[in-house]
Structure 1
Amino acid sequence: MKIIVPMAGRGSRLRPHTLTIPKPLIPVAGKPIVHRLVEDIAGVLNQDIEEVAFIIHESFGKQVEEELLEIAQKLGAKGTIYYQNEALGTGHAIMCAKDSLNGPAVIAYADTLIRADFDLDTTADSVIWVKQVEKPEAFGVINLNEANEIVELVEKPKEFVSDLAVIGIYYFKDIAVLRNELQLVLDNNIIHGGEYQINDGIKQMMEKGMKFVPGKVDEWMDCGNKDVTVDTNSRMLNFLHQDGENLVSDDVKLDNATIIPPCYIGEGVILINATVGPNVSLGKGSKVENATIKNSLVQTHTTIKNATLDNAMIGNHASFDGNFTNISIGDYSVLE
């Protein structure tokens, strides 16, 4: 089994946090989004992972590439880096990894996290994972026939089709079939929304009678903008806490401070006259003094003083001293 991870986009909706780091590497509950995604998919597939291919922008740099290759190595898999330097769509991104597109594979876009427990239907040509949503008109959804097979993909339907939204994770029994169909999309310049789309390759497979079935996840957590990323951080902390995972480093220094779980507290964190939690992630090397923080995501080596924070997201190496309560500041920012 292979895992293909398109992640070349910078994540403009999550700025300023993505100005200095790609969105998939922003930590949620103490671990970068893409790390959690790949590990969770490998866990639910319950199969040996042969290769993990990451499709990134060349500007991400060698350090990012090394971190991604380590993810694959921890799974005992080969890690491969491909580049998509132009934002030409999901279909184009996948085809940037053309040399790895053979055999059984899962494609997973690196801006979403899941919680799931299922058996993969290996009799199908493809599985498209979906989640029931309250407002299907805001998503791409699937249409099912009486045999529970997917017969249509509909993007943001104006009239009700179904409430099962496509979450951006796909299994293909032989991804070479999708590769060949996407090559036709590129060769014939089939464009929607100014881009080459994976859906056009999938629709061609459906027209040839291939069997697509839905796979349902228990939880689908987005990381598209600041508010939903903070919410995803809170939800993931609760899941990990329920799983019994230790989220507080042994070397945290407490001075008249209280931690209300669930919280992730990284290495070397110092808490003085502070109440932290619930639902807070504090990255390593951070310091909180004379402050109360809840429902927030703070990255590494950041100092927070004299603050009451709720629904906050703060980047790396930042310094905040003030009374703002709902903030979003990026790396190396200072508010005093």
Structure 2
Amino acid sequence: MKIIVPMAGRGSRLRPHSLTVPKPLIPVAGQPIVHRLVKDIAKVLKQPIDEIAFVLGDPAWFGDDVVESLKSLAASLGAKPSIYRQDQPLGTGHAIMCAEPSLSGPAVIAYADTLIRAKFDLDAEADSVIWTKQVKNPEAYGVVKLNDQDEIIELVEKPKDFVSDQAVIGIYYFKDVAVLKQKLKEILDENIMNGGEYQINDGIKRMMAEGKVFKTGTVDEWMDCGNKQVTLETNAKMLSFLKADGDEQLISSSVSNTNSTIIEPCYIAENVVLNNATIGPNVSIGENCVIENSSVKNSLIQTHTTIKNATLDNAMIGNHVSYDGNFNSVSLGDYSVLE
């Protein structure tokens, strides 16, 4: 089994936090988004992962540190890492084709801007499985249309009339991804674009037209990381899941705690200093931070940051930030100073 991860976008909706760090590498509940996504997919697949192929953007943005992080991620799952580049933002189908040498055999394609919680078995009879989430407002999403055998027969974008309540979340399984590769090659050769881009859906629709069987794999939770507010909501949900699972140590033993209270669930990394502080619930704090004379809840703070004299709720603060003041809901990017 292979996992193909297109992640060349810069995440403009998450600025300023994605100005210096690519969005898939921004940590949520203590781990980068893409790390959590790939590990959770591996759990669902319940089989060895042979290769993980990452499609990155400009090397000036996705540099050596990003590449090394992704190689380490693949190695942790016993998989071969492959790194590809998408030099132009030409759509989902184009991004997949940038990994053309890896497009053979069984594979999962997953776009690195969401997190999931799921427990289901892949349908061995299906040529492809499109992962979906039941939603209350399907008119706001791309959804699948099913026949009476629960096979996907159509993909419908933001339907005005009810088609189904199963929204496509951007994760796909292919029994042989080479079939999708051939269809996407046709799309590129024929220069078929939608919205000025080459789309994965056009390749999938050609597979459907040839009678390939598509089924759904419904996830329990689908958590977005598209902007500050939803990222904070995702951080809170993920902390609750991780605390319930009990599989990860969420609060490091190296935390220095002086006259401070921690209200779980929280993630607190190594070498964090807490002095006269109340932390939590739903707070993630990266390594080497100092929090003094402050109350912090429902917030995400990255690394090497100092917070003093603050009451924070619904805040997202980057790396190497110095913050001293009585503000509440803030969003500060890396290397900011607010005193």
Fold agreement, TM-score > 0.5: yes
Q: Read off the aligned partner of 2:294 and give its amino acid letter.
A: A
Q: How does 1:176-325 map to 2 (within 5 A)?
A: 176-244=178-246, 245-325=248-328
Residue by residue over 1:9-42, the C-alpha shift from the partner in whole angstroms, topping out at 9 and shown as x without a partner, is 0100000000101000000000000000111101
User: How big is the shift at 1:324?
Assistant: 1.4
Superposed counterparts of 1:85-100, under 5 Å: 85-100=87-102
**C-alpha distance in 2, partners of 1:314/1:137?**
33
1:45 aligns with 2:50: no
SS of match in other structure, 2:52: strand
What secondary structure does 1:234 align onto? helix
Deviation at 1:266, TM superposition (A): 0.5
Letter in structure 2 aligned against 1:64: V
Unaligned runs of 5+ in 1: none
Task: Say whether 1:62 aligns with 2:93.
Answer: no
Could you tell me how far 1:122 is from its partner in structure 2?
1.9
Structure 2 residue ranges without an equivalent (≥5): none
- Name the CA distance, whole Å, in 2 between partners of 1:308 and 1:206: 54
2:148 counterpart (146, 149, 159): 146
- Cα displacement string for residues 64-118 of structure 1 (whole angstroms, at most 9, x for unaligned residues): 1011011111111100000002110000000000000000000001011111111
Q: What is aligned with 1:169?
A: 171
Shift of 1:238: 0.3
3-state SS of 2:223 partner: strand
CA distance in 2, matches of 1:122, 1:297: 40
Letter in 2 for 1:146: D
**Structure-2 separation of matches of 1:85 and 1:15:** 21
What amino acid does structure 2 have at the position aligned with 1:253?
S
Q: In 2, Cα distance between the equivalents of 1:118 and 1:223?
A: 23
What displacement does 1:246 show? 2.1
The one-letter code of the counterpart of 1:132 is: Q
Give the secondary structure class of the aligned counterpart of 1:230.
helix
Instruction: Tell me the secondary structure at the aligned position of residue 36 of structure 2.
Output: helix
Partners in 2 of 1:155 and 1:318 — Cα distance? 41
Structure 1 stretch 42-51 or stretch 154-163: which is displaced more?
A: 154-163
Q: Distance in 1 between matches of 2:95 and 2:132?
A: 21
**How far apart are residue 177 of structure 1 and its match?**
0.1
- CA–CA distance in 1 between the matches of 2:249 and 2:262? 13
* Distance in 2, Cα, partners of 1:189 & 1:304: 52
Which amino acid in 1 is paired with 2:192?
I
* Equivalent-residue separation in structure 1 for 2:134 and 2:241 (angstroms): 19
SS in 2 for 1:320: strand
Q: Which runs of 4+ in 1 moved over 6 A?
A: none
In structure 1, what residue type is equivalent to 2:297?
A: K
Q: Shift of residue 156 of structure 1?
A: 1.3
81, 84, 88: which one pairs with 1:82? 84
Q: Deviations over 1:140-195 (max 9, x none)?
A: 10000100000000111122211110000000000000000000000001100110
Note the 1:109-128 alignment, pairs <5 A. Answer: 109-128=111-130
CA distance in 1, matches of 2:317, 2:17: 8
Name the residue aligned to 1:24: 24
Structural RMSD (CA): 0.7
